[in-house]
Amino acid sequence: MTIATFLFSLLGAMALGAPIAFSLLICGVALMLQMNNFDTQIIAQNLLEGANNYPLMAVPFFMLTGELMNAGGLSRRIVEVADALVGHVRGGLGYVAIITAAVVASISGSAVADTAAVAALLIPMMRNAGYNVPRSAGLIASAGCIAPVVPPSIPLVVFGVTTQLSITKLFMAGIFPGILMALTLSTTWWLVAKKEPGGRQHAFDLRRFLTALRNGVWALVLPFVIIGGMKAGVFTPTEAAVVAVFYSLFTGLFVYRELDYRQVPSLMLAALKTSSTIMFLVACAMVSAWLITIADIPAQTVALLKPFMDSPIVLMLVITVLVIIVGTALDLMPTVLILGPILVPVVKQAGIDPYYFGVLFIMNNAIGLLTPPVGTVLNVVAGVSKESLDKVITGVWPFLLAETVLMFILVLFPALVTVPMKWLM
């Protein structure tokens, strides 16, 4: 009965058009009423505790880092280095897109922001070089989905906060799967790019590469500062976010000199608008998460999934398929906030490493950003490329399929995640 109340109130509120945050609050109130325990003080207290969370402070700082990178010329120089390295081969700009997306992902951690930045820089170049634009847009969208998986992923921060898992450990667990995603996309592009009529066939120019590397070294060092600092225990994820902001600000103002100090307030405002949405979502989710625990929904979910509990791999396959289905209808962050607190106790009881599960769960939701009808990242690249959504959907299918196959491989062979994760930790 409790699970039915939870699902009916949540889905019913969403069906009536209520925003996700308010749907989570309505769900919490419904659970309170069902348990005869309605108390406005509990709602207010959990709302405040949800927002007043130190690790969550990383979100606005990493958002601001992304804004500063784009305005300060860091993103463009990353593109120039990648172009000088692999732009000369057939389909070279596709590899440039993957490399750029992976590097930018390891700095800002937002799929939508990273995809918009990379698409704005590369799609005009790919169009002028004769590439198939919908296919190129599909590749860039798929590469943008690396951002939620690798540190400093904002979804991993939110997942860690709502499930009370170490964010640093989640970050370390996401590094190797993110690399595998980039390699998978590169292999898929290699197969697809054989049919490209364009492609830049000039020879590799060592002097050009060294010049681009010298100009871009300040931008390329930042991921090592963030990840290396957390790995060495020099700073926490939140402190790493602050370091990234000051590094990007200093580089944009005084090294590349493309950032005007008068732009900074507007960049801060843009980052704060996006961050406030996430923060309010998390605050509302903490209300429902607390009531999910009080109502013992995780234990009831364990009972429903009991036939699969004896085999961790089978359980992971069942959960993966469930999240794929949910991901076609819900955006990444609401899915993380709704299902994370329910599923983590289940996988712990089944003997599955929660950090391994967390990375696969976020990867699954990131892939959901590419699936219609929601497909947030698809809509971003469609808007930037000025191509119809139908064409972009057609272009993304090879890469969407490749990332989905990789995800199931990681489900079937957990050591591909857990072994590198333990080494990095």
Tell the residue number behind the tokens 């625990």, with chain if given: 293
The set of residues, in sequence order, having a beta carbon less than 8 Å from that of 198 and lying 6+ positions away, is: 126, 129, 130, 131
Phi-psi region of 247 (alpha: psi -120 to 50; beta: other; left: phi over 0): alpha
Residue 377 and residue 366: Cα distance in Å, rounded? 9
Tell the residue number behind the tokens 């406030």, with chain if given: 276
Residues across the chain: 425
**DSSP H helical segments within 352-388, as ranges?**
354-367, 376-385
Residue 48 and residue 45: Cα distance in Å, rounded? 5
**DSSP H helical segments within 133-263, as ranges?**
133-144, 154-163, 167-192, 206-231, 237-250
Tell the residue number behind the tokens 């808007």, with chain if given: 383
Dihedrals phi, psi of 256, to nearest 5 degrees: -85, -25
SS3 sequence, the chain? CHHHHHHHHHHHHHHCCCCHHHHHHHHHHHHHHHCCCCCHHHHHHHHHHHHCCCHHHHHHHHHHHHHHHHHHCHHHHHHHHHHHHHCCCCCHHHHHHHHHHHHHHHHHCCHHHHHHHHHHHHHHHHHHCCCCHHHHHHHHHHHHCCCCCCCCCHHHHHHHHHHCCCHHHHHHHHHHHHHHHHHHHHHHHHHHHHHCCCCCCCCCCHHHHHHHHHHHHHHHHHHHHHHHHHHCCCCCHHHHHHHHHHHHHHHHHHHCCCCCHHHHHHHHHHHHHHHHHHHHHHHHHHHHHHHHHHCCHHHHHHHHCHHHCCCHHHHHHHHHHHHHHHHCCCCHHHHHHHHHHHHHHHHHHCCCCHHHHHHHHHHHHHHHHHCCCCCHHHHHHHHHHCCCHHHHHHHHHHHHHHHHHHHHHHHHCCHHHHHHHHHHC
Tell the residue number behind the tokens 């207290």, with chain if given: 45
pTM of the model: 0.85
Contact 184, 398 (CB under 8 A): no
Residue 405: the pLDDT is: 96
Residue 378: the pLDDT is: 81
CA distances from residue 340 to 53, 83, 222, 289, 290 in whole angstroms, order as listed = 17, 39, 30, 9, 12
CA distances from residue 422 to 353, 364, 407 in whole angstroms, order as listed = 11, 22, 19
Contact 223, 106 (CB under 8 A): yes
Output the tens digit of pLDDT for each of the chain's 425 residues.
666 777 778 778 877 877 777 887 888 788 788 777 777 787 888 777 777 777 778 888 888 888 888 888 888 898 888 888 887 787 888 899 999 999 988 887 788 878 888 888 888 888 887 888 889 999 999 999 999 999 888 899 989 988 889 998 999 999 999 999 999 999 999 988 876 544 455 677 788 889 988 998 998 898 888 888 887 778 888 888 899 999 999 999 999 888 888 889 998 998 888 788 777 877 887 777 777 777 767 667 767 777 887 888 999 999 999 888 877 767 788 888 888 888 898 899 888 999 999 999 999 999 988 887 667 788 788 888 888 878 888 889 999 999 999 999 999 999 999 998 888 77
What residue ranges do the domains of the chain occupy?
A: 39-424
The residue type at 263: Q
Residue 361 and residue 129: Cα distance in Å, rounded? 37
